[in-house]
């Protein structure tokens, strides 16, 4: 069974400060890992994905995430927060084995950016 834990349901950062959103996963097989972003009243959009290639993954809007197998983590970072980054962020895991491609999402972390 696969699961995702996102530490912190709400994170606040100042504009220009580092953004760090934490995600730890549990998976019985090598996972695929994703970060999605949800803006108010919208669906989820893919930020970036890890599919067993490079462990440091770059996504859209200046975000990146690093897969650390030893720590079972896939934390999302951005060097400098922008007001437009305020949204809810979801980490997700998938076990692409035996034809199963279901995504399991974390509870989400709401990011606030303070001017």
Partner 1 sequence: DARVTQTPRHKVTEMGQEVTMRCQPILGHNTVFWYRQTMMQGLELLAYFRNRAPLDDSGMPKDRFSAEMPDATLATLKIQPSEPRDSAVYFCASGLQGRGYVSGANVLTFGAGSRLTVL
Q: State in angstroms the smallest separation of the CB of 5 from partner 1.
A: 12
Question: Which parts of this chain interact with partner 1 (CB under 8 A)?
Answer: 32, 34, 36, 41-46, 49, 51, 90, 94, 96, 99, 101-108
- Of 74 and 90, the one with the shorter C-beta distance to partner 1 is 90
- Shortest approach of partner 1 to residue 91 CB, angstroms? 11
In terms of CB distance, is 10 or 114 closer to partner 1?
A: 10
DSSP bridge partners of 79: none
The separation between CA 32 and the C-alpha centre of its own chain, rounded to angstroms, equals 12
Half-sphere exposure of 58 (CA within 13 A, CB side): 3
Minimum Å gap between C-beta 100 and partner 1 is: 8
Q: Which is nearer to partner 1, 99 or 115 (CB)?
A: 99
* Parallel, antiparallel or unpaired: strands 19-26 and 10-14: unpaired
Cβ 61 to partner 1 shortest distance, Å: 16
Joined together, the tokens standing for residue 3 give: 């699961």
* Pick from 62, 66, 65: nearest CA to 79: 62
Q: Encoding tokens for residue 29? A: 């097989």
Q: Which is nearer to partner 1, 5 or 17 (CB)?
A: 5
Q: Which residues, 6+ apart, have CB-to-CB distance to 70 below 8 Å?
A: none
């Amino acid at each position: 069974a696969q699961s995702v834990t996102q530490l912190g349901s709400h994170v606040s950062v100042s504009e220009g400060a580092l953004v760090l959103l934490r995600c730890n996963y549990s998976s019985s097989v090598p996972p695929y890992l994703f970060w999605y972003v949800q803006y108010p009243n919208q669906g989820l959009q893919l930020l970036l994905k890890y599919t067993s290639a490079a462990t440091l993954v770059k996504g859209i809007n200046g975000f990146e995430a690093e897969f650390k197998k030893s720590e079972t983590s896939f934390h999302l970072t951005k060097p400098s927060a922008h007001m437009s980054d305020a949204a809810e962020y979801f980490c997700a895991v998938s076990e692409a084995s035996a034809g199963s491609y279901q995504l399991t999402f974390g509870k989400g972390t709401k990011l606030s950016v303070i001017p």
